[in-house]
Structure 1
Amino acid sequence: MRRYKGTTAVLAALTITATLSGCGTGGSEGVTLKLVAADYGSTDANTSKKYWDALARAYEQKTPGVKIDVNVLSWKDVDREVAAMVERGEAPDLAQIGAYADYARAGKLYPVDNLVSVPTQANFLPLLRQAGEVERVQYGLPFGASTRMLFFNEELLDQAGAEPPADWDGLREAAAKLKAKDVKYPFALPLGSEESQAETMMWLLGGGGGYRDATGTAYQIDSPANVETMTWLKEKLVGAGLTGPVAPGELDRQQAFDAFVRGEVGMLNGHPTLMDTARKAGVKVGTVPLPGIDGKAKATLGVADWMMAFKQNGHRKEIGAFLDFVYNDKNVLDFSDRYDLLPVTVSASDAMEADSEHAALRPFLEELAGSELYPVGETSWARVSESVKKNIGRAVAPGGNPRAVLEDIARDARAAETSAG
């Protein structure tokens, strides 16, 4: 674990808070808390199970009578497995997964203010705390965050005589120069089924639109701004042969990231983990804010995963004390450091920003406060996201109709809202 400068006082205060919360677990003799968590690691060597096992043992040592049963599952399985557990009436006490809203609206989760101490709840970054709310009550505790920036291969751009883009025209010009130098993917555009809802949202924000309207109360997927954005992509980038040999609708994010690490990509939209991986592979990585139609995009995409506490087993006090421990600065920074994620608390973010070893992450931290997150508080979002993944690649395909595709997704969104009640 890297040492973060200037955190001594903060760590001391939060340690006292966590210790006091732990002392409140008297009468918890023999309680076992079941935790299901997602695996952020890519191999057995960096699996998240190592993090959670060490954290659980440390907590058990300071809190006699409380055991933490840890079950770490891959991201491909964890959401489905937790849903199956809940369906069987075997909900875990805690789940760290991708979405919380369905469980909150079904009345299965504890509100956060019934769980953790006031200092812990107040320490979440305001944007993320608000994103964890359903009808103004917080149920989701943010766990790991990231933002997106435009990544470029400095050597490839230099060889092509191209400049890092500040807007879409600059992006198209740089991509054309990269293509002229036979760069395999001048701009990698992953609109395949893996995570195209993220790539799409970044472009919609760059065009002045987005998934939701300005009030955040309704979907606007087929808005004129969004149609214009997807039309520009189809005609000016994809149609001009500037996105590489794989059709965007068939290119998944990991494929694009792997190609960037191999030095085959001039530019793409990426997150902090890719930056670290690419640099370790010898790629000289540059970053700039996401370009928009006439300058910097109005916002970048912010992403957070979620911790939630189920009511079923009735361990509210024990869960709350453990979460106070999970969210102290030492543990938040340890997890963020292992997986190149952004901290979700104010004090940990300040500590990371002040640490010169993390200078490369400062632009991502700066972008987080003004980023826009998925509408995760809406139960309709899961269906909308799936519709985007399934359909958006057709919008930029040869013969594709961006307006018609967005209208199809918009119909799915309306149906999802209706069924959600």
Structure 2
Amino acid sequence: MNLEKLIKSKKAKVAVIGVGYVGLPTAVEIAQAGFQVFAIDIKKERVDLVNRGKSYIFDVSSKELKKVVKAKKLKAFNNHAPLKNSDIVLICVPTPLDKNKVPDVSYIEKTTEEIAKNLHKNQLIILESSTYPGTTREVILAKLRETGLKVGKDFFLAYSPERLDPTNKQYKLKDVSRVVGGITKKCTNLVVKFYQTFIKAKIVPLSSTEAAEMTKILENTFRLVNISMINELGLLCSKMGIDIWEVIEAAKTKPYGFMPFYPSPKCGGHCIPLDPFYLEHKAKEYNFWIRFIELAGEINELMPHQVVTRVIWALNLKKKPVRNSKILVWGVAYKRDVGDVRGSAAEEIIPDLLKKGAKIDYFDPYVKTLALKNSFLKKPVSLRSIKYSPKMLKKYDLVLILTDHSGLDYDKLVKNAKFVVDTRNAIKSRKHKNVSWL
């Protein structure tokens, strides 16, 4: 049976390599559609949890995970053996930056080596990880060609960037349109047919893998540039005595030509703050400098320093030095209602304040422990979220809101805290004299 028929009948066996924030929701969605799914991960603890039906990702409930595991539609492995029997392989591995902000595609390279060992005719490979334009062709295809099999004839290769917004209940994985770019037209068509089996939204075919890769870069760079711009305007407005949040709400009343973005202590997460560096890396191969985008990245990197400066200013108002001041950091996740700290402002702000001698506690209902490793610190530091009660706020000289998790009582917070620095506009009323907004 050819691959197209296997997809249509849902008899195709699917391997998902990397079952983190993207891979696990994807694997579960495909399994729920009726396919046999092999979840592959190098972390044994993840594999054990999946096979026990215990979710470690907010967007996947243990109930739905357990259901597909019990139905034998999903099984996790700590090795790449299932690739031999897989008709479709999805690559959902990390693509971090190294310490010099250079893209690290080593996870993709290692995964490709394993795929190459098990590559067989009629197999479809799809890369979903965020990366720079050219990765699919230059890294994956270059290696798979060494097997002697021909792309578009013997095996098929495409890129389709993940579009997953953690905790977004309105737009879940299956509700968001996807773009697909294959090495050949047949590669593209096969991915379109496959995605149509578990994604309700429109699947958009593109002319190449590079076009699909650049689409992801554009989406995220657009957000970073605008968030960086609003952060810079926010800093200026603060100096001018203007409330940037009031200005944004006013601008939103224009029914065309304006899209609201909001100030933050840093644009975090795994994708948005990294993508400009992917693009910068590739642009330099063409002797092209993306100065505007690079500047947005610089502004974003400097925002944690601006927050620390605001904390020092706020403490000075109370005639308190940073050293030995007791500070409660409210929220350490990179965004509201998630337990993901990758790229969060807290990872830079807390070490900076610790180095300056502050005594730091944090509260985050989604992040029980926080491991910090930073150039500000002589050695790694591990913190645990406190058990929160409004009355305990009085023992802190300052509360720093970095994440505005929902379902928490901010009125009680401001009522009991000595002073609050709010970087997220969590406290809406401007009547409070013990609050400073970033």
Normalised by the length of structure 2, the TM-score is 0.30
Q: Per residue, is there more helix in 1 or in 2?
A: 1
User: Which structure exhibits the higher relative contact order, with contacts defined as CA atoms closer than 8 Å and separated by 6 or more residues?
Assistant: 1
Normalised by the length of structure 1, the TM-score is 0.31
